[in-house]
C-alpha cells in the first residue's frame, strides 16, 4: 500500500533552518556521569558560540532502565551547571514534543516509509531463533532470514498477529562518513548489522529515534562520545535512505580515570564506582569548578588563550571552537580537580563562601552558639573542597582527646613547662577582658607576650592546643577563642593546664 506523502511534507515544513541547532538528549536512567556532562557542555557551547539554539530532549524509549525522578535530576543538574535550554519538555518549542515516548506514533510511519523505499524490512524471527544464532557464534550478525519473505508471506504473518521488529537493510559496498574531530572514516558495509529500528512493542530503538528526531528538530551538530563512531555509518545510511541532509558529527574521545586506589588508568565508568557529577557535588566540589575542569577534558583553547585554565561561562562561549577538541583520550585527575575547586572556593566572596560552607560546618558543629559565618571565615583559604570542612572544625562542638605532647613545638619554642606557664599567665588576662572581641583578645595576648619577653608564637601555640586539641586548625588562637567565647575558652584552658600539671 502506497503511503500518503502529505504528512511527511507537513513534518518537513515544521523544521527550523538557517541557524545552528544542537541538542542534549539524555536517557532518564540515573545520575549524570562526567562524560554526559561534557557532552552536554560541548553541545551547549557550540550553540551559544554560534548564536544558535540549544535543545533538551529526553530519550526514554528504553523503558526497562528508567529511574524514577531521573528527569528532575537532569533538569536540576543542567540548571546547576548553567546550561540553559531554549527548547525542551518543560519550555516547549516549535518541534515538540521533546520526550521520545510522546513521539512514538511518528517513528512507525518513518519505518514504514523506509520499508516502501526498500531500506528496511519486517523481521518475524523469534527470540529463541536469534539466541540460537548467537549461541552458534557470539559475534554473528543477523542472517537476514526474513529479508527473503514474499509479500504474501508477510501479509499472512501480519494477519495472524505475529510479533515483528523492523530492521534496517544495510546495502552492499562501503560507507564513508565525516566527523569534525576524526575526519573521514570509511567502513565496509559487510561489517554492519541489519539493526533493529522498531521493536516488537512498537517503540523505536535509540539509534532510529535519534536520527528521526535530530532531523525533525533541525539539529545541525550532533555531539556524542567516540564509542558511537561505530554507529555513525548506520546513521549516515538512514539519512541517505530518507534523502536528508547529514548533520555535522562531533565525536569526543573517552574520558579516562586515574584510579587513586590502584594507580591504573582506565575509561571512566559509573560501573567502576567512578564519581558522577552528583557524587562530586556531594563530595564538596563547586559546580563552577567541575564545569570549568570538564570543559578542558578533551578541549583546549587556541591563540592567546592557549595557556588559560580558568574560564567563566561567558569566556567559554567566546573561546569554544570545535577545532580545539582533541582525538586523544583525556585523564580525569582528582588532584587537578582539587586544584580547580580550591581556586574557585578562594575566589568566592566571603558571603558566598559562608553560604556554601554552612551546611558542611553544621555537620560537625551542631552547637548554634558558634557562629557558622565566623567559622567559615577561617576556612576559605584552608580547604580544597567543602567536604574537608567537618574534620577541620569538629573540635568546636567537642574538645577531642589529645596528647600533652602536642604542647611541645620546637618552632614556637614550647615544651610542657613553657606551655603550662603561658596558660597560667594567659587565663587571668583573658578573664579580665571587658569585652570579648577579636581585637581586644589579640591586643591583650600580644601585650602579654611582650611583657613576658617571649615571641607571640610561644604564647599562642599552647593556647591554641588547649582550646582545639589539634596541631592543625583553621585559624589561630585568637580567632578560635573569639568564636568559642570566654567561658568555653577558659574551661578548655583549665583542662589543658590539668593535663600539663600531670607531666610537669
Active site residue 270: yes
Grid cell digits, residue 288 = 563552577
Contact 52, 247 (CB under 8 A): no
Contact 383, 475 (CB under 8 A): no
Burial of residue 189 (number of CB atoms within 10 Å: 0-12, 13-18, 19+): middle
Q: How far is 194 from 120, CA to CA, in rounded Å?
A: 9
DSSP string covering 421-472, please?
HHHHHHHHHHHT-SS--HHHHHHHHHHHHHHHT--HHHHHHHHHHHHH--SS
Rounded to whole angstroms, what are the CA distances from 62 to 25, 26, 72, 128, 207? 13, 11, 17, 22, 11
Q: How far is 26 from 39, CA to CA, in rounded Å?
A: 10
Reported as half-sphere exposure (CB side, CA atoms, 13 A), residue 421 has a value of 13
Q: Residues 289, 295, 297, 300: is their CA dihedral positive or negative?
A: negative
Grid cell digits, residue 4 = 500518503
Tell me which residue of 264, 263, 248, 303 sits closest to 43, measured CA to CA.
248
Burial of residue 411 (number of CB atoms within 10 Å: 0-12, 13-18, 19+): exposed
Helix residue spans in 320-436 (DSSP H): 334-347, 350-364, 372-379, 389-393, 416-431
Catalytic residue among 199, 267, 270, 470: 270
Q: How far is 292 from 296, CA to CA, in rounded Å?
A: 7
Grid cell digits, residue 479 = 580567632
Q: Residues 403, 408, 411, 412: is their CA dihedral positive or negative?
A: positive
Q: How far is 504 from 498, CA to CA, in rounded Å?
A: 10
Grid cell digits, residue 46 = 557550540
The answer for residues whose C-beta is within 8 angstroms of residue 75's C-beta and 6 or more apart is 90
- DSSP bridge partners of 276: 33
Catalytic residue ranges: 270
Amino acid at each position: 500500500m502506497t503511503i500518503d506523502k502529505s504528512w511527511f511534507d507537513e513534518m518537513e515544513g515544521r523544521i527550523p533552518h538557517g541557524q545552528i541547532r544542537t541538542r542534549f538528549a539524555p536517557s532518564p536512567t540515573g545520575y549524570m556521569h562526567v562524560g554526559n556532562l561534557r557532552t552536554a557542555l560541548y553541545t551547549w557551547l557550540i550553540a551559544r558560540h554560534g548564536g544558535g539554539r540549544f535543545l533538551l530532549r529526553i530519550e526514554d524509549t528504553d523503558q526497562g532502565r528508567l529511574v524514577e525522578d531521573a528527569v528532575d535530576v537532569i533538569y536540576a543538574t543542567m540548571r546547576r551547571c548553567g546550561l540553559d535550554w531554549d527548547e525542551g519538555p518543560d519550555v516547549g518549542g516549535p518541534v515538540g514534543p521533546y520526550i521520545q515516548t510522546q513521539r512514538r506514533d511518528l517513528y512507525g510511519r518513518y519505518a514504514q516509509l523506509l520499508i516502501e523505499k526498500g531500506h528496511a524490512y519486517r523481521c518475524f524471527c523469534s527470540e529463541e531463533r536469534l539466541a540460537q544464532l548467537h549461541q552458534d557464534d557470539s559475534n554473528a550478525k543477523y542472517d537476514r532470514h526474513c529479508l527473503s519473505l514474499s509479500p504474501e508471506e508477510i501479509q499472512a504473518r501480519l494477519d495472524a498477529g505475529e510479533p515483528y521488529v523492523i530492521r534496517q537493510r544495510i546495502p552492499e559496498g562501503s560507507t564513508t562518513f565525516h566527523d569534525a574531530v576524526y575526519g573521514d572514516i570509511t567502513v565496509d558495509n559487510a561489517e554492519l548489522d541489519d539493526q533493529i529500528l522498531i521493536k516488537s512493542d512498537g517503540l523505536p530503538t535509540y539509534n532510529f529515534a535519534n536520527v528521526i528526531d535530530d532531523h525533525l528538530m533541525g539539529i545541525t551538530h550532533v555531539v556524542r562520545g567516540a564509542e558511537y563512531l561505530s554507529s555513525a555509518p548506520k546513521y549516515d545510511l538512514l539519512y541517505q535512505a530518507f534523502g536528508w541532509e547529514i548533520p555535522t558529527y562531533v565525536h569526543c574521545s573517552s574520558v579516562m580515570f586515574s584510579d587513586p586506589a590502584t594507580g591504573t588508568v582506565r575509561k571512566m565508568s559509573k560501573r567502576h564506582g567512578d564519581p558522577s557529577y552528583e557524587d562530586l557535588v556531594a563530595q564538596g566540589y563547586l559546580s563552577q569548578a567541575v564545569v570549568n575542569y570538564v570543559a578542558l577534558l578533551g578541549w583546549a583553547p587556541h591563540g592567546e588563550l592557549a595557556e588559560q585554565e580558568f574560564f567563566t561561562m561567558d569566556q567559554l562561549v567566546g573561546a569554544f571552537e570545535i577545532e580545539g577538541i582533541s582525538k586523544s583520550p583525556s585523564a580525569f585527575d582528582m588532584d587537578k580537580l582539587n586544584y580547580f575547586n580550591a581556586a574557585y572556593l578562594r575566589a568566592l566572596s566571603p558571603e558566598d563562601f559562608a553560604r556554601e560552607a554552612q551546611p558542611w560546618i553544621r555537620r560537625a558543629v551542631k552547637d548554634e552558639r558558634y557562629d557558622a559565618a565566623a567559622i567559615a571565615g577561617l576556612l576559605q583559604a584552608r580547604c580544597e573542597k567543602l567536604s574537608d570542612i567537618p574534620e577541620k572544625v569538629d573540635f568546636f562542638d567537642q574538645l577531642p582527646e589529645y596528647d600533652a605532647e602536642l604542647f611541645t613545638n620546637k618552632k614556637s619554642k614550647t615544651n610542657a613547662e613553657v606551655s603550662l606557664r603561658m596558660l597560667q599567665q594567659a587565663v587571668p588576662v583573658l578573664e579580665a577582658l571587658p569585652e570579648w572581641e577579636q581585637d581586644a583578645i589579640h591586643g591583650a595576648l600580644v601585650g602579654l607576650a611582650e611583657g613576658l619577653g617571649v615571641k607571640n608564637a610561644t604564647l599562642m601555640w599552647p593556647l591554641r592546643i588547649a582550646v582545639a586539641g589539634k596541631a592543625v586548625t583553621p585559624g589561630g588562637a585568637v580567632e578560635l577563642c573569639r568564636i568559642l567565647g570566654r567561658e568555653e575558652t577558659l574551661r578548655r584552658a583549665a583542662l589543658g593546664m590539668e593535663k600539663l600539671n600531670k607531666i610537669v
